[in-house]
Amino acid sequence: MDELETEPALDVQRWREERLARDYERVPPRREQPATLSGIPIADVYTPADVEGIDPARDIGLPGEYPYTRGPHASMYRGRPWTIRQVAGFGQAEDTNGRFKYLLAHGETGLSTDFDLPTLLGYDSDHEIYRREIGKIGVAVDTVVDMHALFDGIPLEDVSTSLTINAPAAVLLAMYRVVADERGIAGSRLTGTTQNDILKEYTAQNEFIFPPVPSVELVVDTMEYGAEVMPRFNPLNACGYHIRDAGSTAVQEVAFTIAAGLCYLEAARERGIDPDRLAPRVSFFWNVHNDFLEEVSKLRAARRLWARMMRERLRCSDPRSWLMRAHCQTSGVSLTAQQPINNVARTAIQALAAVFGGTQSLHTNSLDEAFAIPSEAAIKIAVRTQQIILHESGAADVVDPLGGSYYVESLTSRIEEEAAGLIARIDDMGGMIPAIETGYVNQLIADSAWEQQLALERDERTTVGVNAFTDDDRSTGGIELHQNDPGVAERQIARLADVKRSREERRVAQALRELEAVAGDLHHNRMPLIEEAVRARATVGEICDVLRSVWGEYRPSTVF
């Protein structure tokens, strides 16, 4: 106590030289150059000196107020908890509908849909080459008839629904609206999202069809359509998730995602659409990876950067345009096939980071996902993990509990600054589309993925069960892996044939002709015509084929 009395001011330098050095003499630092998972150097300890440039009013603020560092809402989880939203999708619509109902019965509070690869790439189930992919990693949807079956018995006016679809998002959005309409549910009552962030397909997930320029215009179409006919629905869910799982750093994840959000809104402005009309319905989707405090800081930084970009760069005046609402998913790439039960612990820590980071919605991965899409038993543990955080841990009982931490505030600012710097470099290149077409963004992600692999192989990073504490245990603890139903393809192809037999071909042909006629005019909103084609029971593949015929397909060279 003597020291405190004689030296009331914090003398960090003295502490480092005397106290810390003495400790390190006895036990040297565990890591030579401690850094976050994304490579940001970490000091021994953080003190008021590290937050000197941070103004509590200007930079941190209060929850629910600009710049939203502490959360988009004032009450956060003390009022409404985050939405427990597990993505589901396999087989035919009925199979996934059954999984939806299982999840809702176990306390899930929002739906999320994965589509199979043919649907994601705009092909029908009767496509001669791709039928082997039907219903494997998601549900097969060819026409609005499948969409009706997918949501059968689910009250669309009460449950928010996320549709994980990108290149053909316009078609699936129209299908969702038509399903509601044919069930007598007003568009104004629908809530949820289409993912619809095509730019991250070019940089990370590779499920693209058309070239970037018309694709971005199609996204603008959906945003404008959404604002008109389903004003509570978020047609765009800008995604960092896939960028991160493809190997990016946290800073790159934030920068490329926010740059994408800006790209869509700036394209809309070019078409004379006021960003304030669309921005309140832009939502976000982040990855929560292993580095707990980096992830908390990243979510806080992303909210602040988006708020500033919306207010200062796009000159949005509606506060709803400034605030970032986000869904998070724990990191799929962090799951191990070795000792897979350990994935429950990994996922729980990541989920807690999402909660401390202030997410509005959360998907927790299942322990068996290094092998296959989740089994019922494994996904229940994932749901229970969120319920334990919400009801048992106390983490949800106070808003932004890590706000004010010297380290978290300092890291929040650093991530924001570095992401802003990367966005400025993208601006210098002419924006996200040129930055993608030149391979710049993809190369940065590939380089980062490579660095992470090297770090693991040089044992600079430890993954429990993979390069440390290894054994031969690959048991999922009695949980049986999801098995693909081999009969799905045949049944789905038969259903599609039925729909084609019973629909009015003339109406379909006319709708597709009209779509073709306007597709080339990039500033003409195509959504009413796509909606008419969907109502006529045109297929995802037929509608995408029309757009392919006008816009062509994107086939970039690959960088690695």
Partner 1 sequence: MSEHTPPIKVVVAKPGLDGHDRGAKVVARALRDAGMEVVYTGIFQSPESILRAVIQEDAAVLGLSSLSGAHMEYAVDLCRMLRENDREDVLFLVGGTIPDEDAARLKSVGVSEVFGPGARTADIIAYIEDRVRAAAQA
Which residues of the shown chain bind partner 1 in the complex (CB under 8 A)? 117-118, 120-121, 123, 129-130, 132-133, 136-137, 201, 205-207, 245-247, 333, 335-338, 369-373, 446, 449-450, 453, 456-457, 463, 466-467, 474, 481, 484, 557-558, 560
Decide: 261 and 239 in contact? Cβ < 8 Å: no
Q: Tokens 């960092």 appear where?
A: 240
Alpha-carbon gap, residue 295 to 444, rounded angstroms: 20
**Residues 360-387, buried b or exposed e (16+ Cβ, 10 A)?**
bbbbbbbbbbbbbbbbeebbbbbbbbbe
Q: Helix 292-308 vs helix 406-428: angle between axes, to the nearest 10 degrees?
A: 50
Of residues 171 and 355, the one with the C-beta less far from partner 1 = 171
41 DSSP 8-state letter: B
Alpha-carbon gap, residue 291 to 350, rounded angstroms: 8
Of residues 338 and 350, the one with the C-beta less far from partner 1 = 338
Of residues 502 and 560, the one with the C-beta less far from partner 1 = 560
CB of 313 to partner 1, least distance (A): 31
205 DSSP 8-state letter: I
CB of 193 to partner 1, least distance (A): 20
- φ/ψ of 195, rounded to 5, equals -65, -60
Of residues 405 and 467, the one with the C-beta less far from partner 1 = 467
CB of 372 to partner 1, least distance (A): 6
Of residues 412 and 476, the one with the C-beta less far from partner 1 = 476
CB of 421 to partner 1, least distance (A): 25
Of residues 137 and 349, the one with the C-beta less far from partner 1 = 137
Chain-centroid distance of CA 557 in Å reads 25
Of residues 260 and 279, the one with the C-beta less far from partner 1 = 260
The two three-digit tokens of residue 229, written as one number: 């006919």
Q: Which residue type is seen at 523?
A: H
CB of 87 to partner 1, least distance (A): 15
* Closest-CA residue to 217 (of 284, 276, 273): 273
CB of 385 to partner 1, least distance (A): 21
The two three-digit tokens of residue 519, written as one number: 């597709």
Q: Tokens 């192989």 appear where?
A: 457
Decide: 65 and 119 in contact? Cβ < 8 Å: no
Decide: 36 and 27 in contact? Cβ < 8 Å: no
**Residues 258-286, buried b or exposed e (16+ Cβ, 10 A)?**
bbbbbbbbbbbeeeebbbbbbbbbbbbbb
Of residues 319 and 439, the one with the C-beta less far from partner 1 = 439
Task: Locate all alpha helices (DSSP H) within 246-317, ordered by sequence.
Answer: 250-270, 275-278, 292-308
Decide: 554 and 202 in contact? Cβ < 8 Å: yes
Of residues 181 and 376, the one with the C-beta less far from partner 1 = 376
Q: Are strands 282-288 and 110-114 parallel, antiparallel or unpaired?
A: unpaired
Of residues 45 and 454, the one with the C-beta less far from partner 1 = 454
The two three-digit tokens of residue 43, written as one number: 């000091």
Task: Locate all alpha helices (DSSP H) within 281-431, ordered by sequence.
Answer: 292-308, 319-322, 342-357, 376-391, 406-428
CB of 163 to partner 1, least distance (A): 18
Of residues 135 and 280, the one with the C-beta less far from partner 1 = 135
Evaluate the omega torsion of the peptide bond into residue 67 and state whether it is cis, within 30 degrees of 0. yes
CB of 242 to partner 1, least distance (A): 9
CB of 124 to partner 1, least distance (A): 13
Strand order in the sheet with 361-363: 233-234, 192-194, 161-164, 110-114, 83-88, 361-363, 325-330, 282-288, 236-239
Alpha-carbon gap, residue 51 to 31, rounded angstroms: 25
Alpha-carbon gap, residue 131 to 138, rounded angstroms: 13
Of residues 171 and 282, the one with the C-beta less far from partner 1 = 171
CB of 556 to partner 1, least distance (A): 8
The two three-digit tokens of residue 329, written as one number: 């998913």
Of residues 467 and 510, the one with the C-beta less far from partner 1 = 467
CB of 8 to partner 1, least distance (A): 52
- Name 5's Cβ contacts closer than 8 Å, sequence gap at least 6: none
Q: Tokens 């959906």 appear where?
A: 222
Of residues 132 and 506, the one with the C-beta less far from partner 1 = 132
466 DSSP 8-state letter: T
CB of 118 to partner 1, least distance (A): 7
CB of 527 to partner 1, least distance (A): 25
CB of 557 to partner 1, least distance (A): 8
